[in-house]
Structure formats: C-alpha cells, structure tokens
Chains A and B, each alone.
Chain A
C-alpha cells in the first residue's frame, strides 16, 4: 500500500520555465512533508519542507504548496535551470511515527 504517490515518473521542462512536481498521499495523519532532490550516485538532498498548519512555503526558487483537503502537495521551481535536472522525492510523516514515507520519485529534465 503506497501511502505517498508521485504519479509522474518523469517531466521535461524548458530552461527558464516553471517546473511543477506533484505528490499525493492517502494517510490523513501525515502532518509534515518534505521534498528531496537526488542526483545519480548520490544520496537525496533536502530541498524544502512544509508543516500541515501551512499551505505554502517558499525558499528562493522553490515553493511547496499543500492542499490538505485533496491530500496533495506540489513543488514549484521557478525559473527552472539545467542544474535542477534530478530525481525529486516527496516524503511524509505523522507525529510520533519517527519515520518518513517516500514517494517513488519524479525525474525532472530541464532542457537548455
């Protein structure tokens, strides 16, 4: 039972445009969400997080939106750069569970 889903395995975007990566979850107890970026042969790197008490969090070119009623979050990258080409994972956790459930990842390719 995959509680965190990233239904788009891949996405291609032109440099300078917006990249939107989506993530859906099923467990209403999740209250903290994170996005990670992963380059080949490296470990995931933390990008941005959001608590369930917020619906938006911004950090430079990266913004995460949370829609609790839809159990959906998205990561916006504006403007997209070739160096953003990587696999992006969303992850979710619930209070007291001590663990994060990861999605299967979306491979973003930013075309120069």
Chain B
C-alpha cells in the first residue's frame, strides 16, 4: 500500500513540449512538496502546499505550475520543456509544515531531448 505515489516513473519528451507529473498521498497529511534532484544530486525544494494553499514557491521558472485539487494530490505541470529541466522530481508529504519528517514518493525521472 504505497504512501506517496507518483506517475509516471519515467518521462522522456522533446524540448518545447508540455508535460504533467501527478502525485498522490494516502497518509492523511495536509502538506505536500515538490523537489528537484539535478545531475549534481542536489535535492532542492520547488513548491509546498498546505491545505491546498501555496506556502513555498522557490525561484522556479513560471513554466512550472503546481496544482493541488485536494489535500491528497499535488500535480506539477511543466510548459515549454527545456533541456535543463531534465532531472528527477520527487513529491513528498508531511503531517505539518515544520518539524515533521517528510515522506517521499519514488521519483519521476524526466529526460528532455
């Protein structure tokens, strides 16, 4: 019974395309996150939602748009994909906004050609 799931696991697409990554958690958490792990293995936060409201928006290009239809889902839509967007994207959730451990999904490896 997967706690945090992401689809797809792998995504290969061409530059200029638009793609979405979906995330769902069944832990009853009210906070969800998107992280990007680049080729240097840095794990950097991109966005965070608490009770469907955006609370963290790091310096991410506005081609990236998160959407939280409900507390259990946080999707990431990327417009006009660029080569530099190639990375592993992780979704995570936590019980609260601070001092709580985060539960991560398995990651989505995005390759832009």
B48-71 interface code vs A (CB 8 A; 1 in, 0 out):
101000011010000000000000
Number of interface residues of B (CB under 8 A): 25
Give the contacts of B65-84 with A (CB-CB under 8 A): none
Q: Which residues of B contact A (CB under 8 A)?
A: 4, 33, 40-45, 48, 50, 55-56, 58, 90, 92, 97-99, 101-107
Chain B residues near A87 (CB, 8 Å)?
A: 41
Contact A43 B98 (CB under 8 A): no
Question: CA separation between A34 and B92, bound complex, in Å?
Answer: 15
Minimum distance in angstroms from B27 CB to a CB of chain A: 12
Partner of A89, one of B40, B43, B98: B43
Contact A46 B55 (CB under 8 A): no
Question: CA separation between A21 and B66, bound complex, in Å?
Answer: 35
